[in-house]
Amino acid sequence: MATKFIIIAGLAVFFVVLSGLPFYTAWKDDGDERDAVDGRCRGCGYDLTGNASGICPECGATIEAIA
């Protein structure tokens, strides 16, 4: 009886998570939308104000020059 309950509860959790996945992927910000003009790294979002090296100190990503 307990095994049946665990299977049903596990399936319920699985379907709840599965149904929410499209909303999560639409909501999350993966950094692709970030613009270099805002002064942040496109890879990790680190504030690059005053950075002249061309490399993000947080993640090591190459920073594109702003023309």
Containing structural domain, residue 63: 31-67
Same domain, 58 and 36: yes
Does 67 lie in the same domain as 37?
A: yes
> What pTM, to 2 d.p., does this model score?
0.43
Q: What is the pLDDT at residue 63? A: 83
22 and 38 inside one domain: no
Q: Are 59 and 41 in contact (CB under 8 A)?
A: yes
**pLDDT (tens digit, 9 = 90+) per residue, 3-60?**
988 999 899 888 887 787 777 776 665 555 555 557 888 888 888 888 888 899 999 9
Residues 50 and 19 both lie in one domain: no
SS3 23: helix
How many separate domains does the chain show?
2
Tell me: do 23 and 36 sit in the same domain.
Answer: no
Task: Report pLDDT for 60.
Answer: 92
Statement to judge: residues 41 and 25 lie in one domain: no
